[in-house]
Amino acid sequence: MCGIVGYVGEREALPIILKSLKRIEYRGYDSCGILVQDKGKIHVYKSVESIDYLEANISESEYDGKIGIGHTRWATHGAPSKKNAHPHLDGKGEIAVVHNGIIENYQSIKEGLLSNCVFKSETDTEVIPHLIHQTLGKFDQQTFKKSLIKNAAQIKEAVKDALSCLKGSYAIIVAVDGFDGLVAARKESPLVIGVGDRENFIASDVPALLEQTNRIIFLDEGDIAVVKKDSIYIENSGSEVKREERLIEWTIEDAEKGGYEHFMLKEIHEEPRAIIDTLRGYLAEDEINFGVDFKIDTKGKSILMVACGTSYYAALCGKYIIEHQAKVPVQVELASEFNYSDFVLDGMNVVVMAITQSGETADTLMALKKAERYGCKTVAITNVLGSSATRIADKTIYMSAGPEIGVAATKSFVAQLVIFYLLGLFLSKMPASEFVEHLDELKRMPQVAQMVLDEADVNIQNHAGYLSRYEHVFFVGRGVNLPIALEGALKLKEISYIHAEGYAAGELKHGPFALLTEDTPVIAILTSDNTYEKTLGNVKEIKARGSPVIAIAEEDDEEVEKYVDAVIRVPVTSAIFSPIPNIVALHLLAYRTAKERGCEIDKPRNLAKSVTVE
Ligand code: M6R
């Protein structure tokens, strides 16, 4: 849940580490820290403020050094504070570690193996440098100190020794005073190496490195790497391994705001592009192709989707889409619940699909592993190349939304829907003419999304000004638009801090009606489908209780205006495709409302982009 970076080369490390950290500050921002190593001395600087603040408070002349590590923190063990900020050091201040993940057995290590060490923080991480120190202490100190530069092997062994004591997950970078390299290792947390010219980089996420290099090596589960300025040595299970270097096509501009005030707004505006790119990945000349080895024999089989947060709502929408198009039963489970439930997988003819933008959500990865243990076929649907989900699942379907930096998921949700439309059609046995109709409409979705961005935004801005004054809002929808109401509510609450609840339109009368007053606006999704009349009936009931209603309705709907206070118009589509224009409108509504309220849109409080703890 934190971001980590490392540099070793011929340039000053400090500005490079600062720049790289800023790119991944979204991974956690409750404190940060940097270490720079300079000819036998290490300098550490920490802050509970932003990385900008940290930068402003270090004078570059104070620190020079060609090796550095950095960390931006999302607290799991120990409150956000300077003493808990990384890097953490051993007792002698010679070994420093930045860590992303959780060490589950740190307490027993402190009380057992390290019972005579003095700890300066409340973190789980601090045991790692102490453990490394203990092993290094077993080597002959004098010889070791004299030939430290040559002692990569000993340092690597000491890191391995330390890691063998740990239970939990980690991506770590270790710096040792006087050593001309860094050691990196991963278990259940992502870690990549950026390859440069007489310099190399390490980071938890690719965007951290794009300004420096696009030559990336994705470390695999259990890898440990010794990274020097002109060499990269990777080992797994005691033997050297070669990992492929990949060229990443995301430009640095892709990962930056591109002129928009916030990443979230930029990413909403990239929704049409995300649809085009995702379609392009699997659609050629009206044929849907998920790759040669991708076959789902739908006979007697069902699909089980596991996911969290926005990806869970996308999966719920996927259920409606795939059941409508392919007539294959789909069940959707929250990954965090599925992992501890008695869900019967034994003997079930089920394909398990994990839906996860980041591919790193701990609950979702656990669910994938559970499915694997039961011998189910597994598929990861993710946005992140080489992410952990792709390593666990039998097969990966990539959405091509590009890097999503805003904590609030937007374009990845739309890309997930596109994958479900493609899957629904791929698995369907519908007549050719119907198939072509669906495909044609799917291909029209980038324009439809663009029309919402171009035509509805001004109107949405007015409604956002109005909505921003309230503290409680309901979102209602039915059928395929129920998950859209749920996602609309999640988006609003997460970035504007307005209490928002998504509900099935027909369910309000079974309890929540008690909450309806003139101070609880309701956003009602009114798509012209077989649920329209019923939803309109619910809207009338809501109005009778005094709540203001804003409808999301199609351009040609002349009826709706009579019953609601305001309408946000979206282009006409067939019902099954209506989630696309509706969600673009609701993403904009959440963004504009949060902006009216002056909220920290890209970094909402208490949240982080990928939730790598259960
Ligand atoms: O990376 P994932 O799709 O697995 O992430 C799941 C959720 O943590 C994520 O969708 C979260 O709910 C978003 N912040 C919502 O905008």
pLDDT in tens, 404-463: 889 999 999 999 999 999 999 999 999 999 999 999 999 999 999 999 999 988 899 999
Say how many Å lie between the CA of residue 313 and the centre of ligand 1: 10
The response to whether residue 364 sits with its C-beta less than 6 Å from ligand 1 reads yes
Which of ligand 1's atoms lies nearest the C-alpha of 410?
Answer: 16
Using an 8 Å Cβ cutoff, are 356 and 364 in contact? yes
Parse the chain into domains and list their residue ranges: 3-256, 260-443, 446-609
- Active-site annotation, residues: 2, 609
Strands 67-73 and 31-38: antiparallel
The per-residue pLDDT for 494 is 96
* Token couple for 398: 């990539």
Q: Which of 317, 338, 361 to mutate to test the pocket of ligand 1 (most atoms within 8 A of CB)?
A: 361
- For 107-152, the pLDDT digits (tens) are 999 999 899 899 999 999 999 999 999 888 776 565 555 555 557 8
Looking at the CA of residue 364, tell me the nearest atom of ligand 1. Answer: 4
For position 286, what pLDDT does the model report?
85
Q: What is the DSSP letter of 588?
A: H
Task: Of 390, 415, 419, 392, give the one whose Cα is nearest residue 402.
Answer: 415
pLDDT at 608: 79
- From the CA of 361, give the closest atom in ligand 1: 4
pLDDT score, position 295: 66
Which of 310, 364, 404 should be mutated for ligand 1, with most atoms under 8 A from CB? Answer: 310
Residue nearest to ligand 1 atom 10, measured at CA: 310
Q: Looking at residue 299, what is its pLDDT?
A: 61
Q: Is the CB of 407 under 6 A from ligand 1?
A: yes
CA gap 163, 235 in Å, rounded: 14
Q: What is the pLDDT of residue 370?
A: 93
Rg (CA), the chain: 26
Contact 361 CB / ligand 1 (< 6 Å) = yes
The protein residue with its alpha carbon nearest to ligand 1, atom 8, reads: 309
Note whether 283 and 251 are within 8 A (CB).
no
Atom of ligand 1 nearest to the CA of 310: 10
Give yes or no for a cis peptide into 548 (omega within 30° of 0).
no
Helix or strand run (H / E) with residue 350: strand 350-356
Q: Which helix (H) or strand (E) holds 494?
A: helix 482-496
- The two domains 3-256 and 260-443 share their CATH topology (first three levels equal): no
Please tell me the pTM assigned to this model: 0.77
CATH homologous superfamily of 260-443:
Glucose-6-phosphate isomerase like protein; domain 1 (3.40.50.10490)
Taking the CA of residue 358 as reference, the ligand 1 atom at the shortest distance is 1
CB neighbours of 533 closer than 8 A, spacing ≥ 6? none
Ligand 1 within 6 A of CB of 358:
yes
CA of 277 to the centre of ligand 1 (A): 21
Minimal-distance CA residue to ligand 1 atom 16:
408
For 354-469, where are the alpha helices, taking DSSP H only? Answer: 362-373, 388-392, 411-427, 432-451, 457-467
Task: Assess whether the C-beta atom of 174 lies below 6 angstroms from ligand 1.
Answer: no
Q: Say how far apart CA 154 and CA 136 lie, in whole Å.
A: 7
CB of 356 within 6 A of ligand 1: the answer is yes
pLDDT of residue 35: 96
Residue 102: predicted pLDDT: 80
| Ligand 1 contacts CB of residue 408 (under 6 A) | yes
Q: 207: which DSSP letter?
A: G
Architecture of the domain defined by 446-609: 3-Layer(aba) Sandwich (3.40)
- Dihedral of the CA atoms 203, 208, 211, 212 (nearest 10)? -10
Answer whether 612 contacts ligand 1 (Cβ < 6 A).
Answer: no
To test ligand 1's pocket by mutation, which of 27, 311, 397, 399 has the most ligand atoms within 8 angstroms of CB?
311
- Identify the segments of the chain with pLDDT beneath 70: 1, 60, 139-150, 253-256, 258, 292-300, 346-348
Which residue lies with its CA nearest to atom 11 of ligand 1?
309
To test ligand 1's pocket by mutation, which of 610, 612, 614 has the most ligand atoms within 8 angstroms of CB? Answer: 610
Distance (angstroms) between ligand 1 centre and the Cα of 205 equals 16
User: 451 alpha carbon to ligand 1 midpoint, in Å?
Assistant: 26
With a 6 Å cutoff on the Cβ, whether 308 touches ligand 1 is yes
Residue nearest to atom 7 of ligand 1 (CA): 309
Residue with tokens 């011929």: 10
| Ligand 1 site-directed mutation target among 611, 613, 614, most atoms within 8 Å of CB | 611
- Could you give the CA distance from residue 135 to residue 110 in angstroms, rounded to a whole number? 15
Q: How far is the CA of 26 from the centre of ligand 1 (A)?
A: 13
611 within ligand 1 shell (Cβ under 6 A): yes
The C-alpha atoms of residue 86 and residue 72 are separated, in whole angstroms, by 8
Tell me, in angstroms, the distance from the centre of ligand 1 to residue 104's CA. Answer: 23
Q: Which pLDDT does position 452 carry in this prediction?
A: 97
357 close to ligand 1 (CB < 6 Angstrom): yes
β-bridge mates for residue 288, sequence order: 283
The string of pLDDT tens digits covering residues 184-207 is 999 988 899 999 999 999 999 888
Cβ(210)–Cβ(24) below 8 Å: no
Give the CB-side neighbour count of residue 300, counting CA atoms within 13 A. Answer: 3
Domain at 3-256, CATH class: alpha beta
